[in-house]
Amino acid sequence: MKIRKIRKIILALAMAMAMPVSGLMALTVTVDFGDATLNTALKSTIETQLNSDLAKYDTMPDFTRGMANSAVYASNAGTTRGYQGYDLFNISVGTMFSLQMPNAEMNADALTDDLQNKGDVYAGVGWQPVAGQIGINMGFLVEDLYLTFKFGKFSTEWVDYELGLGDDKVNYDASIFGFMLNYSIVKEKSILARSILWRGITVGTGFTYASSKIGYGLKLDTMTLSNGGYDADVDPSIELEVESKNYIIPVEIYTSMRLLYIVNAGVGAGFDFVVGSNTDLNVSADGDATITTAGIYQGTKGTITVSDASTSEKADRFRPRLMANVGVSLGPVYIDAPVTYYFDNAYSVGITAGIVW
């Protein structure tokens, strides 16, 4: 019996030692003016204030999960749903933006306010800037079967540009690739010389890999702190850097109509099954401290560093959704707006342009 107890104690100690040290760490702010006099006067005062004010960003599991789910929502960019039934091919390029809100009443401004005031909140944004799709009619192998390849890559660094959301700035990098198989379980039907065309009902599934890296600069209010005869304007702004990788199996059923050769509209339902996911959030400082006291130190800037503030989460495994699209076509060319609603106050909206033959 004593041997068994000793084994249990050893096992418990081993498990405790194997726990990640980061789990015991907390967000830490350090300040350095590069000058002994200023550090003696203000370093401790600023660090104490910022460690208190920024503690709400120590761990952000809800926000990280919201960002992971938003990345999944945006993975349907460039979709050709609603335009099946083509004879040879369907080529499209599109973009898609997604938004995960904590409740039905929230809006984008309120989301920013919540991040500033509360820190962790179940919300997120996703964007697939560019995604191309090439669809091929596989009727030479299986009648009414369509195979679509998806691919895309974009970075704001390519254009030396930062997206602006009010006072906040966003850097973005995203890539995507995958495929989709669609099969018509009910064939299309038309009347009046095809002026009214019902495209039938299709079911589809496939695989998508989507990765994104977003740097979101969250602007926080500047404060003035004083000690030891010196004043400093302190900018506590932070950057939230989120890196997400998701492996997704989409499943959907869809139907659509074309009216008077021009207007296209469709509806459907489905879900995203996330077979693998990892999203990492890191918080870093995006501001500084500037001496405002008149004298030789006026204008001197001190660096602010935030460390030990990171969170890892996964996207939800099962994401049911409702879908719709509306578009216009002129001959083989079409422009389409796909919209998707997820059942916990999440949305994705896109624009797609393509040619079908």
Report the alpha-carbon distance of residue 120 to residue 200 in Å, rounded: 45
Find the range with the poorest average confidence among 180-184, 192-196, 240-244.
192-196
Instruction: Give pLDDT, residue 329.
Output: 93
pTM of the model: 0.86
Q: For residue 313, is it within any domain?
A: yes
Q: Considering only CA atoms, give the Rg of the chain.
A: 26
Tokens matching residue 244: 């997400």
- Domain span including residue 217: 29-356
> Which residue has tokens 């602006």?
164
Contact between 69 and 319 (Cβ < 8 Å): yes
Q: For residue 170, is it within any domain?
A: yes
Q: For residue 158, is it within any domain?
A: yes
Q: What is the DSSP letter of 42?
A: I
**In the structure, what pLDDT confidence band is assigned to residue 102 with cuts at 50, 70 and 90?**
confident
* Digit-coded pLDDT (tens) for 40-64: 999 999 999 999 999 999 999 999 9
Q: For residue 131, is it within any domain?
A: yes
Q: For residue 7, is it within any domain?
A: no
Q: For residue 6, is it within any domain?
A: no
Q: For residue 322, is it within any domain?
A: yes
Q: For residue 10, is it within any domain?
A: no
Q: How far is CA 146 from CA 52, 223, 325, 331, in A?
A: 57, 59, 19, 21
Instruction: Give pLDDT, residue 321.
Output: 97
Report the alpha-carbon distance of residue 248 to residue 208 in Å, rounded: 5
Check whether 111 has a pLDDT greater than 80.
Answer: no
Q: Could you give the 3-state DSSP secondary structure of residue 45?
A: helix
Task: Provide the number of structural domains found in the chain.
Answer: 1
Strand partners, 133: 92, 150
**In the structure, what pLDDT confidence band is assigned to residue 167 with cuts at 50, 70 and 90?**
low
